[in-house]
Structure 1
Protein backbone atom coordinates (compact mmCIF):
# COMPACT_ATOMS: atom_id res chain seq x y z
CA UNK A 1 0.00 0.00 0.00
CA UNK A 2 1.27 3.47 -0.80
CA UNK A 3 0.60 6.80 0.89
CA UNK A 4 -1.66 7.64 -2.07
CA UNK A 5 -3.61 4.39 -1.55
CA UNK A 6 -3.97 5.18 2.16
CA UNK A 7 -5.14 8.73 1.47
CA UNK A 8 -7.64 7.37 -1.04
CA UNK A 9 -9.05 4.89 1.49
CA UNK A 10 -9.11 7.47 4.27
CA UNK A 11 -10.84 10.07 2.08
CA UNK A 12 -14.05 7.99 2.29
CA UNK A 13 -13.96 8.07 6.12
CA UNK A 14 -15.36 10.58 8.60
CA UNK A 15 -12.58 13.16 9.07
CA UNK A 16 -13.35 13.48 12.79
CA UNK A 17 -13.10 9.72 13.48
CA UNK A 18 -10.14 8.60 15.63
CA UNK A 19 -7.54 6.42 13.91
CA UNK A 20 -6.70 3.00 15.36
CA UNK A 21 -4.21 0.31 14.41
CA UNK A 22 -5.44 -3.27 14.29
CA UNK A 23 -2.57 -5.51 15.34
CA UNK A 24 -1.79 -9.22 15.63
CA UNK A 25 -4.28 -11.40 13.74
CA UNK A 26 -3.86 -14.27 16.23
CA UNK A 27 -4.54 -12.04 19.26
CA UNK A 28 -6.40 -9.06 17.72
CA UNK A 29 -5.82 -5.84 19.63
CA UNK A 30 -6.61 -2.17 18.96
CA UNK A 31 -3.92 0.49 19.37
CA UNK A 32 -4.03 4.28 19.30
CA UNK A 33 -2.11 5.82 16.39
CA UNK A 34 0.04 8.72 17.55
CA UNK A 35 2.85 9.18 15.06
CA UNK A 36 3.54 9.27 11.34
CA UNK A 37 7.23 9.11 10.44
CA UNK A 38 8.83 9.22 7.00
CA UNK A 39 12.15 7.46 6.52
CA UNK A 40 14.54 6.86 3.66
CA UNK A 41 15.32 3.20 3.02
CA UNK A 42 17.77 2.41 0.24
CA UNK A 43 16.94 5.65 -1.53
CA UNK A 44 13.16 5.15 -1.31
CA UNK A 45 10.79 6.97 1.05
CA UNK A 46 8.85 4.79 3.48
CA UNK A 47 6.13 6.06 5.84
CA UNK A 48 5.57 4.42 9.24
CA UNK A 49 2.39 4.67 11.30
CA UNK A 50 3.18 4.13 14.96
CA UNK A 51 1.47 3.72 18.28
CA UNK A 52 2.50 5.92 21.18
CA UNK A 53 4.54 5.09 24.24
CA UNK A 54 1.81 5.90 26.76
CA UNK A 55 0.43 2.98 28.76
CA UNK A 56 -3.08 3.65 27.41
CA UNK A 57 -1.97 3.33 23.77
CA UNK A 58 -3.16 -0.29 23.63
CA UNK A 59 -6.92 0.02 23.82
CA UNK A 60 -7.81 -3.63 24.33
CA UNK A 61 -9.31 -6.34 22.21
CA UNK A 62 -10.28 -5.54 18.66
CA UNK A 63 -14.09 -5.44 18.23
CA UNK A 64 -15.20 -8.82 16.83
CA UNK A 65 -16.86 -7.24 13.78
CA UNK A 66 -13.53 -5.60 12.86
CA UNK A 67 -11.62 -8.89 13.21
CA UNK A 68 -14.24 -10.55 10.98
CA UNK A 69 -14.03 -7.73 8.39
CA UNK A 70 -10.23 -8.14 8.34
CA UNK A 71 -10.75 -11.92 7.92
CA UNK A 72 -8.63 -12.49 11.03
CA UNK A 73 -11.42 -14.61 12.47
CA UNK A 74 -14.61 -16.13 11.16
CA UNK A 75 -18.05 -14.98 12.17
CA UNK A 76 -19.18 -16.60 15.37
CA UNK A 77 -22.69 -17.93 15.47
CA UNK A 78 -24.66 -18.77 18.55
CA UNK A 79 -24.76 -22.50 19.25
CA UNK A 80 -27.93 -24.26 18.19
CA UNK A 81 -30.47 -24.67 20.92
CA UNK A 82 -31.04 -28.19 22.11
CA UNK A 83 -33.83 -29.41 24.27
CA UNK A 84 -32.70 -29.40 27.86
CA UNK A 85 -32.46 -32.70 29.63
CA UNK A 86 -34.47 -32.88 32.77
CA UNK A 87 -32.83 -34.10 35.93
CA UNK A 88 -34.05 -37.54 36.91
CA UNK A 89 -34.55 -38.38 40.48
CA UNK A 90 -33.21 -41.83 41.11
CA UNK A 91 -33.73 -43.98 44.11
CA UNK A 92 -31.88 -42.76 47.16
CA UNK A 93 -32.33 -39.07 46.36
Structure 2
Protein backbone atom coordinates (compact mmCIF):
# COMPACT_ATOMS: atom_id res chain seq x y z
CA UNK A 1 0.00 0.00 0.00
CA UNK A 2 1.51 3.33 -1.05
CA UNK A 3 0.28 6.77 -0.08
CA UNK A 4 2.19 9.60 -1.70
CA UNK A 5 2.53 13.11 -0.34
CA UNK A 6 0.19 13.13 2.67
CA UNK A 7 -0.53 16.82 3.25
CA UNK A 8 -2.78 16.75 6.30
CA UNK A 9 -3.15 14.84 9.55
CA UNK A 10 -6.19 13.16 7.96
CA UNK A 11 -4.08 12.04 4.98
CA UNK A 12 -1.47 10.57 7.35
CA UNK A 13 -4.11 8.79 9.42
CA UNK A 14 -5.60 7.35 6.22
CA UNK A 15 -2.14 6.24 5.07
CA UNK A 16 -1.49 4.48 8.40
CA UNK A 17 -4.97 3.01 8.87
CA UNK A 18 -4.23 -0.07 6.75
CA UNK A 19 -1.39 -1.19 9.02
CA UNK A 20 -1.42 -3.02 12.35
CA UNK A 21 -1.22 -0.37 15.10
CA UNK A 22 1.60 -2.39 16.76
CA UNK A 23 3.85 -2.04 13.67
CA UNK A 24 7.14 -0.22 14.33
CA UNK A 25 7.38 3.34 13.00
CA UNK A 26 10.48 4.82 11.35
CA UNK A 27 11.31 7.83 9.18
CA UNK A 28 13.45 7.39 6.07
CA UNK A 29 15.59 10.36 5.07
CA UNK A 30 18.30 11.46 2.66
CA UNK A 31 17.54 9.64 -0.62
CA UNK A 32 21.16 9.98 -1.81
CA UNK A 33 22.53 8.49 1.42
CA UNK A 34 19.47 6.71 2.83
CA UNK A 35 19.28 6.43 6.60
CA UNK A 36 16.54 5.30 8.97
CA UNK A 37 15.48 7.21 12.08
CA UNK A 38 13.14 6.63 14.97
CA UNK A 39 10.35 9.14 15.45
CA UNK A 40 11.17 11.47 18.34
CA UNK A 41 8.11 13.66 18.83
CA UNK A 42 4.89 14.81 17.29
CA UNK A 43 4.13 18.48 17.96
CA UNK A 44 1.82 21.16 16.66
CA UNK A 45 2.80 24.78 16.22
CA UNK A 46 1.90 27.25 17.45
CA UNK A 47 0.02 25.23 20.13
CA UNK A 48 3.00 23.26 21.51
CA UNK A 49 5.54 26.08 21.22
CA UNK A 50 6.47 28.44 24.00
CA UNK A 51 6.10 31.81 22.36
CA UNK A 52 6.89 33.97 25.39
CA UNK A 53 3.30 35.16 25.62
CA UNK A 54 3.11 36.21 21.96
CA UNK A 55 0.48 34.20 20.11
CA UNK A 56 1.55 33.51 16.49
CA UNK A 57 -1.11 34.06 13.86
CA UNK A 58 0.09 31.36 11.47
CA UNK A 59 -2.20 28.34 10.93
CA UNK A 60 -1.39 25.21 12.95
CA UNK A 61 1.09 22.71 11.51
CA UNK A 62 1.80 19.22 12.93
CA UNK A 63 5.50 18.29 12.87
CA UNK A 64 7.08 14.82 13.03
CA UNK A 65 10.54 15.12 14.56
CA UNK A 66 13.29 12.65 13.79
CA UNK A 67 14.85 10.89 16.72
CA UNK A 68 17.79 8.55 17.11
CA UNK A 69 19.46 7.38 13.92
CA UNK A 70 18.91 3.64 13.62
CA UNK A 71 21.28 2.95 10.73
CA UNK A 72 21.39 2.60 6.99
CA UNK A 73 18.06 2.20 5.26
CA UNK A 74 17.54 -1.38 4.02
CA UNK A 75 17.69 -1.65 0.22
CA UNK A 76 14.15 -3.03 0.08
CA UNK A 77 12.87 0.17 1.74
CA UNK A 78 14.83 2.45 -0.61
CA UNK A 79 13.32 0.48 -3.50
CA UNK A 80 9.77 0.78 -2.11
CA UNK A 81 10.29 4.55 -1.72
CA UNK A 82 11.53 4.82 -5.31
CA UNK A 83 15.02 5.87 -4.18
CA UNK A 84 16.84 3.01 -5.93
CA UNK A 85 18.91 3.70 -9.00
TM-score (norm 1): 0.69
Ranked by relative contact order (alpha carbons within 8 Å, sequence separation 6 or more), the top structure is 2
**2:53 is the alignment partner of 1:47:** no
- Figure out how many residues of one structure are paired with residues of the other and give that number: 70
Tell me how far apart the structure 1 counterparts of residues 14 and 57 of structure 2 sit (CA, whole Å).
Answer: 26
Structure 1 stretches (4+) deviating beyond 4 angstroms? none
**2:18 is the alignment partner of 1:3:** no
Unaligned runs of 5+ in 2: 1-6, 47-55
Tell me how far apart the structure 1 counterparts of residues 8 and 66 of structure 2 sit (CA, whole Å).
Answer: 19
Over the residues paired in the alignment, what is the CA RMSD in angstroms?
1.4
Tell me how far apart the structure 2 counterparts of residues 25 and 42 of structure 1 sit (CA, whole Å).
Answer: 34
TM-score (norm 2): 0.75
Q: Secondary structure at the match of 1:44?
A: coil
**2:39 is the alignment partner of 1:24:** no
Query: 1:73 Cα shift?
Result: 1.2
Unaligned runs of 5+ in 1: 75-93
